[in-house]
Amino acid sequence: MLTGLVSSLAIQRVSGPAEAIAFLASPAASYITGAVLDSNGGYTA
């Protein structure tokens, strides 16, 4: 089942929320305010 989902994604891989959380907690995200971050691998693109 997961293989079918992965093949339908634009970037061909899945991830969890940890990467998005780590980015938002880092100094690299210091200018991001009031944004919605879609962490879906391009599924809704």
pLDDT band at 28 (very low <50, low <70, confident <90, very high): very high
CA angle centred on 28, ends 15 and 40, rounded to 5°: 25
pLDDT given for residue 27 in this prediction = 95
Q: At 10, is the secondary structure helix, strand, or coil?
A: coil
Digit-coded pLDDT (tens) for 35-44: 887 776 666 6
Question: What sign results for the dihedral spanned by CA atoms 14, 17, 22, 28?
Answer: positive
* Region label for 42, one of left (φ > 0), alpha (ψ between -120 and 50) or beta (otherwise): left
Helix boundaries (H) for the chain = 2-8, 17-24
